[in-house]
C-alpha cells in the first residue's frame, strides 16, 4: 500500500513540475470525440508504446490532417497491487485544440495495458495550432500508421 502512495505522490509531483515548466497554459477539461479509426490508432500506439518502447521514446499516431497524437512512456514501476505499471504522457491534437494527458497504465495478465489513473487537460490556444505542436514535439520518433 505504501508503494502505491509513493507512486501516486510521485505522479502528482511530475504533473506539478510539468505544469510549472510548460510553455502552454493548461486547464482541466474534456477529451475530444474521436472516430472509430482514430480510437483504433490511438489504442495501437498506446499498446506499442507501453509494451515495447523505452522510457522517453514516443509513438506517433495520425488519423488525418485534423487529428493526431503521441504517447510517451515516462517510467516503469512495479507495484504490489497492480504489478508492472508505466507512467506515460499523451498528447492529442485536433484542428482546434490540443489535449494533454498524464496517466498510469498497468499490465494485465492477458498482456493488455489497463489505465488505472489519468488526468486530462485542454491546452490553451496559442498562435501555433495544436496540430503543429504535436508535429514539432514528435519529429523523428517512432510512427504508427494503420
Backbone angles phi, psi at 22, to 5 degrees: -70, 140
The three three-digit cell numbers of residue 92, written as one number: 492529442
The three three-digit cell numbers of residue 33, written as one number: 470525440
Lowest-confidence region among 1-5, 37-41, 77-81, 127-131: 127-131
C-alpha 56/C-alpha 103 separation (Å) is 14
Q: Residue 80 has what DSSP assignment?
A: T
- pTM check: above 0.85: no
Q: Are 84 and 76 in contact (CB under 8 A)?
A: yes
Please report, for the chain, the start and end positions of each structural domain, with discontinuous segments joined by +. 2-144
Q: Convert the pLDDT of each residue in 74-128 to its tens digit.
A: 999 998 988 999 999 999 988 888 888 999 999 998 989 999 998 887 666 554 4
Amino acid at each position: 500500500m505504501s508503494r502505491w502512495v509513493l507512486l501516486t505522490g510521485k505522479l502528482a509531483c511530475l504533473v506539478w513540475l510539468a505544469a510549472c515548466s510548460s510553455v502552454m497554459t493548461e486547464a482541466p477539461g474534456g477529451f475530444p470525440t474521436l472516430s472509430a479509426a482514430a480510437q483504433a490508432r490511438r489504442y495501437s500506439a498506446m499498446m506499442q508504446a507501453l509494451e515495447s518502447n523505452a522510457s522517453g521514446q514516443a509513438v506517433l499516431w495520425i488519423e488525418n490532417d485534423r487529428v493526431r497524437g503521441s504517447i510517451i512512456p515516462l517510467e516503469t514501476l512495479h507495484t504490489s497491487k497492480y504489478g508492472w505499471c508505466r507512467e506515460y504522457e499523451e498528447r492529442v491534437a485536433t484542428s482546434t485544440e490540443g489535449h494533454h494527458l498524464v496517466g498510469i497504465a498497468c499490465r494485465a495478465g492477458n498482456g493488455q495495458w489497463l489505465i488505472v489513473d489519468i488526468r486530462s487537460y485542454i491546452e490553451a490556444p496559442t498562435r501555433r495550432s495544436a496540430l503543429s505542436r504535436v508535429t514539432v514535439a514528435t519529429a523523428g520518433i517512432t510512427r504508427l500508421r494503420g
